[in-house]
Amino acid sequence: MFRPTVSVIVPTYNRPLFLCELLECLARQTFRDFETIIVNDAGVSVHFVRDLYPELNIRIIDLETNRKHVHARNAALLQAAGEYIMLCDDDDLLLADHMARMMREIEDVDLVYSDAEIFDYRIEGRARVATRRFLFAYKLDVEAMRKFSTFIPSGTLYRKRIHDAIGLFDPDVYHYWDWDFFLRVAERFRVKRVPVASVLYAFSGIGEHMSADLEQMRPYLNKLSAKHGLGDLPTKNFFLLLQEPDVKSRQAPSQVLWDGRIAPSRWRE
């Protein structure tokens, strides 16, 4: 039975173009010893991707009801065969050497995450075209992370055994599952930031008002705060928070490698 070194977990829901662009990135990785677990959260079928990307070891989990992204990730974790887990949102992208670099960096720690470029885009035909981009790179400061998280989960690589100690991702904090995960891991394991922007984080609407759901998010932020003793946390617009003096002071240099182009996928339907 094939036992991959890494299990890449990708939840998805009705975004075949974005999913296939991510799979294109995975197909171009210089590190090859991995499986890709796609969790279809009761959306349209994605089984066609196996034919599009036969070189990838793809497993598909079809959820019968839409349970949202945290449950989808947990469903994949329960079936992951790799010693390591890599997280990826279906609309984010990885540069070709990302996985190989992360495998080198994790040798003496338990979890590694990289810097990112956040990009806006437009869709032209069957592809995305990046329109705006900026570097997202901040010092690793666990205490400061209790006030504002600069952890982007896509592209994160960690040892699967971490879950034996802390359990699965927590759906009760929903919007803040990744912040919660980082804090739980950092309390008990060795964490490292890799100062290379090899993750491309999609955020359509950069520069616009992105706070329409702040009131909806507030109860989950309160749950996160109570769980970790974080005190009163603001639910400001993400981009406004980046301009806060204590956040700006954490900005750090990083290596930027992306040429600004998104590799076309094989999806043509």
Could you tell me the residue ranges of all domains in the chain?
Answer: 6-256
Evaluate if pTM is beyond 0.75. Answer: yes
**Nearest-angstrom CA–CA distance, 130 and 214:** 26
Q: Are strands 93-94 and 111-124 parallel, antiparallel or unpaired?
A: unpaired
> pLDDT tens track of the chain, all 269 residues?
679 999 999 999 999 999 999 999 999 999 999 999 999 999 999 999 999 999 999 999 999 999 899 999 999 999 999 999 999 999 999 999 999 999 999 999 999 999 999 999 999 988 999 999 999 999 999 999 999 999 999 999 999 999 999 999 999 999 999 999 999 999 999 999 999 999 999 987 654 434 457 778 899 999 999 999 999 988 877 888 899 999 999 999 999 999 999 999 999 87
Task: Report the run of H or E that residue 131 belongs to, with start and end.
Answer: strand 127-136
CB neighbours of 234 closer than 8 A, spacing ≥ 6? 241
The CATH number assigned to the domain with range 6-256 reads 3.90.550.10
* Strand ranges in 63-125 using DSSP code E only, listed in sequence order: 84-87, 93-94, 111-124
